[in-house]
Structure 1
Amino acid sequence: MKTESAKGVLAMIVACLIWGFSPLYYKILSHIPPIEILAHRTIWSFVIFAAILTLQGRVSALFALFSTRKSVLIVGVAAVMISTNWFAFIFSIQAGYAVEAAMGYYIFPLVAVLLGRAVFGEALTRLQWGAVCLAAVAVALLSYGLGVAPWISLLVAGSFGLYGLVKKRLTAGPVVSVTGEVALLVPVALAVLAVVHTQGQGHFGTAAWENIMLIFSGVLTATPLILFSYATQRNRLSTVGVLQYINPTAQFICAVVIFGEPFGFWHGLAFGLIWVGLALYSASSLAQEKARRK
């Protein structure tokens, strides 16, 4: 019989694999504009999360989340950040920038560390400072080599980092808070679809397979988040942190091996520095966790 920790590790691996290979799913929908996919992803995610809360008898927790102006504002900012992240990811897959999206999720932990230092005054070890500096050098070199900054990478990492920063202000559980976020976005999503379909450009209802895939985008969003929540409740954050690199690694494989996106000298140099930085960051995090346990 597996221990709770082992079950948590398995849940985290499955969640990361779903996230990591989701580019294959959105690549199939490349003929549908990202904003339309995002609208459906928002609406169907809300339907699934609302159903889960109803079955759990926790709908009251959702109303409690919106009980004060402050919490509504925090949830609203989180909603903007996560929708920005989702849009950037979908756009990157469709536009042929999946390599940059993978890079963004690789540097996200280092961005999160830097935000923690800047906003909460969290102390950084020398290894962590070194990791952040390596990431900065990697972005600078890639910008120089390509002649343009890797904006997709920076948008993906920045929006997800700010999302995590805002989420620290919420005491609600992950399912409740995410349900609240998509609930605020549903009116916007419905408005987007209303405009699209009024112009005769909407894809929902035109083909059964498209309908199924657009609806399933909600499942693709909800499932890994639930698994992630399950994993974090049963494992140390350092373990979860190391396992999460499965996600960008799988994205990287999709981009280079399956999609055949260009990966030249400057990409290799930047990714090499980031991987070294992540190794330093992971080593420091594991050492800190070990020290706390002692």
Structure 2
Amino acid sequence: MTDNGARGGLLLGLGAYTMWGVLPLYFRLLASVPALEVLAHRVVWSAVLLILVVSVMRRWGAIRAAVNARTIAMLVASAVLIAINWLIYIWAVNNGQTLAGSLGYFINPLVNVALGVAILGERLRKWQGVAIAIAAVGVIIMALFAIDTLWISLTLAASFGIYGLVRKVVAIDSLGGLLIETLLLAPPSLIFLLVAAGDGTGAMGRDLSIDVLLVVLGVITALPLLMFAAAARRLPYSVLALLQYVAPTLQFFVAVAIFGEPLRPLHLVVFGLIWIGCAIFAWDSVRASRTARRAAREALGATAAP
């Protein structure tokens, strides 16, 4: 990997996670639109944009070659999971629960590790175990003293974690998978929007600014995902492991500094434990990546030796 390639990957990754981090600001502009309708528009306009992207990139042949019954079945599952994740997050932002959403995405990387151990049989490194244990204490405290919002955090973390697990094992690239997911979700979403328009309850057509915001949701959804996919090909996993905390950190500050959501002592304790767990996890990821690269260089040197 060249320095320019790595620098480009870093910029793409930062761009993607920054867009996800400030996404609550966009959803708050759509606070007058029910969460389910926002989700439907997000799906439909994302599908339109992705069809255009795949057509311009001439990727239809490669995507069709990757599609079979097993792939479709798994993408049906991942589509349902990402729809649940999007719906809960939109609802949380527009109901004053952005902090709970932020907590969910802080927990998510640790959920990914736990799923890897439980489902894929991956071995848990010592410090990963420590990180998960500390974060678990934070979740338990939240369960004991703030059970009313814990469901938001856990649903977001679990749905996105399981979504990532499905997408990890399904045999299709990120662009093709995202396209098929949105195409699977598009028909029911379009029917929902047509019914809402027919009975006069739909938001589209009442306010030009809202109409534009709903259409641009397609770009807001697809662009960071495409940027992330490009960054993932250029950056080592350890860097991605660090970047993934950019989005929930920004969401946290948006919730407190802009939306004015109350930051109670309980939040400080829980987020403090989660942050400690995330910091240990990130440090361990960087350490493990450096060890692996050093071992690879030594093995290459031993192979090249006469």
TM-score w.r.t. length of structure 1? 0.97
Cα contact 2:71–2:171 (8 A) shared by 1: no
Measured at CA, do residues 85 and 133 of structure 1 come closer, stay the same or move farther in structure 2, by a change above 3 Å? Answer: same
Cα contact 1:65–1:177 (8 A) shared by 2: no
Looking at structure 1, the residues matched to 8 and 272 of structure 2 have their Cα atoms a distance apart, in angstroms, of: 32
Looking at structure 1, the residues matched to 147 and 83 of structure 2 have their Cα atoms a distance apart, in angstroms, of: 28
Structure-2 residue corresponding to 1:15: 16
Structure-2 residue corresponding to 1:73: 73
> Runs of 5+ in structure 2 lacking a partner?
295-306
Q: CA deviation at 1:47?
A: 0.7
Structure-2 residue corresponding to 1:36: 37
User: Does 2:176 correspond to 1:143?
Assistant: no
Cα contact 2:24–2:93 (8 A) shared by 1: yes
Q: CA deviation at 1:145?
A: 2.1
Q: CA deviation at 1:149?
A: 5.6
Looking at structure 1, the residues matched to 171 and 70 of structure 2 have their Cα atoms a distance apart, in angstroms, of: 12
Structure-1 residue corresponding to 2:222: 222
Partner-residue secondary structure (3-state), 2:94? helix
Which whole-Å deviations, capped at 9, do the CAs of 1:182-222 have from their partners, x for residues lacking one?
00000110121122223211011112111110000000001
Question: Stretches of 4+ moved more than 3 A in 1?
Answer: none
User: Does 2:258 correspond to 1:258?
Assistant: yes
Cα contact 1:5–1:234 (8 A) shared by 2: yes
Compare CA radii of gyration and give the structure with the larger one. 2
Cα contact 1:34–1:91 (8 A) shared by 2: yes
Looking at structure 2, the residues matched to 293 and 147 of structure 1 have their Cα atoms a distance apart, in angstroms, of: 43
Q: How does 1:137-176 map to 2 (within 5 A)?
A: 137-148=137-148, 150-176=150-176
Cα contact 1:65–1:180 (8 A) shared by 2: no
Partner-residue secondary structure (3-state), 2:234? coil
Measured at CA, do residues 33 and 65 of structure 1 come closer, stay the same or move farther in structure 2, by a change above 3 Å? Answer: farther
Looking at structure 2, the residues matched to 151 and 59 of structure 1 have their Cα atoms a distance apart, in angstroms, of: 39
Q: CA deviation at 1:123?
A: 0.5
Paired letter, 1:150:
L
Looking at structure 1, the residues matched to 32 and 66 of structure 2 have their Cα atoms a distance apart, in angstroms, of: 37
Identity of aligned residues (%): 36
Looking at structure 1, the residues matched to 191 and 49 of structure 2 have their Cα atoms a distance apart, in angstroms, of: 20
Looking at structure 2, the residues matched to 149 and 216 of structure 1 have their Cα atoms a distance apart, in angstroms, of: 30
Looking at structure 1, the residues matched to 207 and 140 of structure 2 have their Cα atoms a distance apart, in angstroms, of: 45
User: Does 2:65 correspond to 1:64?
Assistant: yes
Cα contact 1:204–1:211 (8 A) shared by 2: yes
Q: How does 1:64-103 map to 2 (within 5 A)?
A: 64-66=65-67, 68-103=68-103
Looking at structure 2, the residues matched to 279 and 123 of structure 1 have their Cα atoms a distance apart, in angstroms, of: 20
Looking at structure 2, the residues matched to 214 and 242 of structure 1 have their Cα atoms a distance apart, in angstroms, of: 31
Which whole-Å deviations, capped at 9, do the CAs of 1:97-152 have from their partners, x for residues lacking one?
10000000001000000000000111111111111111111011122222546111
Partner-residue secondary structure (3-state), 1:150? helix
Looking at structure 1, the residues matched to 106 and 147 of structure 2 have their Cα atoms a distance apart, in angstroms, of: 21
Measured at CA, do residues 213 and 167 of structure 1 come closer, stay the same or move farther in structure 2, by a change above 3 Å? Answer: same
Looking at structure 2, the residues matched to 275 and 26 of structure 1 have their Cα atoms a distance apart, in angstroms, of: 25
